[in-house]
Amino acid sequence: MGMHTKEGFRNLFTGTTVERVMRQGVKPVLMVKNKPVGEYKSVVVGTDFSMASHKAFRAAASLAPGASFSLVHAYELPHETFRRSEYAKDFVINAEEKQLDDFLKEEMKRFIDKAEEAPGTLSKSVVEGNPYEELMKEARKTKADLLVIGTHGQGNVVHAFLGGTAEQILTSPPCDVLVCGGISAS
């Protein structure tokens, strides 16, 4: 589907055809921002290691088999202010961060292993930060022409369907966006 205005997906939240297709459809939706000029060369895939993320990753690999892929998992830790305060014990925080880092790296490995076939050129990163900001940063850095996201359901409220990160991306996409539903999509 093509974007019709410079407003991006701003109209998505008032019930456009695109919104209805994403909410009620069972297939991935490719939102094309600009006129196509060839095959996708650089793809950024956001992952939370869910089934929706797996579906999105597989769909992207099928759509752009020759592209370079950047697989990104971004997360935010609660109570960041306390964690960085003078009262937090460095050795406890460092041990917890190492444990979390090891866990997320193992999750990333399992995620890639679970994919039927991973693209040839694949970089992966697990970063602490706001998922939307980290995906935009990666899209700029890699000059992505496709950003891929999975969503988690098909409720009536757009935010509940798309989630905060997807909603932000679709409001002002940096490039083409492939959205794959997770629950009832086939």
Is 1 among the domain residues?
A: no
**Calpha distance 14→12 (Å, rounded):** 6
Q: Comparing 90 with 112, which gets the higher pLDDT? A: 112
Q: How many domains does the chain have?
A: 1
C-alpha distances (whole Å) from 185 to each of 28, 55, 118 are 8, 9, 21
CATH of the domain at 134: 3.40.50.620
**All residues at 6 or more sequence positions from 8 whose CB lies less than 8 Å from its CB, including other chains:** 33, 170, 171, 172, 173
What is this structure's pTM?
0.76
Is the Cβ–Cβ distance between 142 and 44 less than 8 Å?
Answer: yes
Is 129 among the domain residues?
A: yes
Is 3 among the domain residues?
A: no
Closest Cα to residue 135, out of 118, 153, 148? 148
Give the domain range for residue 141.
40-153+165-181
Sheet holding 146-151, edge to edge: 29-31, 176-181, 146-151, 42-46, 68-75, 121-128
Is 125 among the domain residues?
A: yes
Using DSSP's 3-state secondary structure scheme, residue 169 falls into helix
Q: Which of 93-97, 102-106, 140-144 has the highest mean pLDDT?
A: 140-144
Is 131 among the domain residues?
A: yes
Q: Provide mean pLDDT across the span 37-46.
A: 92
Is 6 among the domain residues?
A: no
**Calpha distance 132→108 (Å, rounded):** 18
Beta strands, E only, the chain: 29-31, 42-46, 68-75, 121-128, 146-151, 176-181
Q: Provide mean pLDDT across the span 176-181.
A: 87
Is 77 among the domain residues?
A: yes
What per-residue confidence (pLDDT) applies to 138? 96
Q: Provide mean pLDDT across the span 143-153.
A: 85
